[in-house]
């Protein structure tokens, strides 16, 4: 029998004379500290992802790099066992994450132009196909260049959907649409379509046998059985795509709209102000975060369906796929469903909120704005702390909490930051709407 793997912990070693941690890495002596350290590790993963993609496009920030080194040293070498200071470090991580997201936003706009509202088909076009998943716009751009005129249609999946809003990417006519929804539908989706598949970042699942031989990775991603591309020469991906059967012409179930940048939304500011003052818009609701494969996350669709017509919904990250096929209509030309983009585009939501606050002459926290967030993986953790650092309170969170969020941490979030755990969508509707 294989012995149970134990993680070494200095606190346990001091208490027991040198044995490994009895809690398999979650220290039984300082459980809250251990979980706060895990929280910061997740936040650092999110910051690192944004910094990595910015660096792909030639952007770097020494303050972000310096914080990553200091914070990693703090939590990976167990030099800090003070819970309160670890909460402070998490808030600082949120502040640094804002810098990283802003850096990546600038990199994307410099490379591809500012996004514009764009309608994206969800069906297939007859012909050869490559599906691109992840978050890496640089990899997508290079693939689009190399497939130009090759008779291959390129489709986005999940967090790559916002790519369609960038002028520098949407100019390629063979970027034809988006297939599937959030990250966890990969195995069903990729098995269904005889296409080559390119994973550009995290959120890539270990491939099934049905499509393993036509799946590729690039950048930091490595998957068992999938071929890895160093750099941006995607010739092997193209070769496989050309060898596969054509996808048939098949209409999609909905047309999705993405590409609402800060400029696109704030260009509507005078009309928004008029409608708010007239009572035609009473609430802005941000729904976003990292979706999870659980029926409990149907909460978000039920919540949005129950909203009164005077509510405008903003979406972010793959949580958008719970609601972005709904036809919510408009309020005198203002869309009621506005997709701001990838998880890193939370900075766009912040800047829009700041612009609207200036328009109305109030603080950001005084806007008729509610935040209802899914919380699952590292980027969602980093973004939560960014929002808390900015002073947002009363954020609704759930239904799935990270395993490191024990009672003590939840108590800090609820008592100090007024985070509210979601329950029943109908029951939450009244407080969410203020």
Over the stretch 356-401, which tens digit does the pLDDT of each residue have?
999 999 999 999 999 999 976 778 899 999 999 999 999 999 887 8
Q: Considering only CA atoms, which of 380, 372, 369, 370 is closest in space to residue 405?
A: 380
Backbone torsions φ then ψ of 383, nearest 5 degrees: -65, -40
Mean pLDDT over 202-230 rounds to 97
- Hey, is 110 helix, strand or coil? helix
pLDDT, one tens digit per residue, over 18-56 is 444 444 444 444 578 888 998 999 999 999 999 999 999
Contacts of 346 (CB under 8 A, 6+ apart): 101, 288, 316, 317, 340, 383, 386, 387
- Distance (Å, whole) CA 190 – CA 400: 26
Mean pLDDT over 291-305 rounds to 93
Per-residue confidence at 319, pLDDT binned at 50, 70, 90?
A: very high
DSSP E strands in 317-356: the ranges are: 330-331, 334-335, 337-339
DSSP line for 278-302: TTS--EEEEEEE---SSGGGHHHHH
Q: Considering only CA atoms, which of 164, 198, 144 is closest in space to residue 339?
A: 164
- Hey, is 431 helix, strand or coil? helix
Alpha helices in 17-82 (DSSP H): 31-56, 62-76
- Distance (Å, whole) CA 54 – CA 135: 11
Angle at CA of residue 354, ends 62 and 134, nearest 5°: 55
- Hey, is 123 helix, strand or coil? coil
- Distance (Å, whole) CA 121 – CA 254: 7
Instruction: Tell me the average pLDDT of the chain.
Output: 92
Q: Crossing angle for the helix pair 31-56 and 137-147, nearest 10 degrees?
A: 30
pLDDT, one tens digit per residue, over 118-153 is 999 999 999 999 999 999 999 999 999 999 999 999
Per-residue pLDDT at 4 exceeds 90? no
Per-residue pLDDT at 10 exceeds 50? no
| pTM, full prediction | 0.92
Mean pLDDT over 79-85 rounds to 87
Backbone torsions φ then ψ of 48, nearest 5 degrees: -60, -40
Mean pLDDT over 297-322 rounds to 96
The per-residue pLDDT for 434 is 84
Give the least confident one: 91-100, 249-258, 378-387: 378-387
């Amino acid at each position: 029998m294989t012995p149970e793997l134990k993680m070494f912990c200095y606190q346990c070693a001091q208490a027991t004379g040198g044995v490994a941690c009895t809690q398999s890495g979650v220290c039984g002596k300082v459980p809250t500290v251990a979980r706060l350290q895990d929280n910061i590790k997740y936040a650092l993963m999110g910051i690192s992802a944004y910094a990595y993609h910015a660096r792909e496009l030639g952007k770097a920030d020494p303050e972000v790099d310096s914080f990553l080194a200091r914070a990693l040293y703090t939590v990976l070498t167990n030099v800090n066992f003070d819970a309160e200071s670890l909460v402070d470090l998490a808030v600082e991580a949120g502040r640094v994450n804002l810098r990283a997201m802003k850096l990546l936003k600038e990199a994307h706009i410099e490379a591809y132009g500012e996004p514009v509202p764009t309608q994206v088909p969800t069906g297939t076009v007859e012909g050869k196909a490559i599906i691109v998943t992840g978050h890496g716009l640089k990899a997508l751009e290079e693939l689009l260049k190399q497939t130009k005129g090759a008779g291959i249609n390129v489709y986005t999946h999940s967090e790559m959907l916002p790519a369609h809003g960038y002028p520098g990417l949407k100019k390629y006519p063979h970027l034809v649409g988006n297939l599937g929804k959030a990250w966890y539908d990969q195995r069903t989706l990729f098995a269904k379509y005889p296409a080559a598949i390119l994973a550009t970042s995290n959120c890539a699942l270990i491939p099934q046998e049905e499509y393993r031989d036509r799946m590729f990775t690039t950048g930091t991603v490595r998957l068992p059985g999938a071929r890895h591309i160093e750099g941006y020469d995607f010739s092997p991906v193209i070769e496989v795509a050309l060898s596969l059967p054509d996808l048939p012409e098949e209409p999609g179930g909905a047309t999705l709209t993405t590409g609402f940048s800060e400029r696109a939304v704030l260009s509507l500011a005078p009309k928004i102000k008029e409608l708010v003052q007239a009572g035609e818009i009473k609430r802005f609701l941000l729904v976003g975060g990292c979706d999870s494969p659980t029926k409990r996350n149907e909460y978000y669709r039920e919540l949005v369906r129950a909203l009164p017509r005077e509510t405008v919904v903003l979406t972010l990250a793959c949580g958008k796929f719970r609601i972005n096929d709904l036809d919510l209509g408009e309020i005198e030309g203002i869309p009621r469903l506005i997709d701001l983009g990838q998880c890193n585009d939370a900075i766009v939501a912040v800047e829009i909120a700041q612009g609207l606050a200036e328009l109305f002459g109030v603080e950001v926290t005084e806007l008729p704005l509610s935040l209802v967030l899914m919380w699952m993986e590292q980027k969602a953790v980093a973004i939560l702390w960014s929002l808390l650092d900015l002073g947002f309170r009363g954020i609704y969170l759930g239904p799935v909490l990270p395993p490191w969020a024990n009672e003590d941490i939840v108590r800090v979030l609820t008592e100090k930051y007024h985070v509210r755990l979601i329950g029943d969508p109908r029951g939450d509707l009244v407080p969410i709407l203020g």
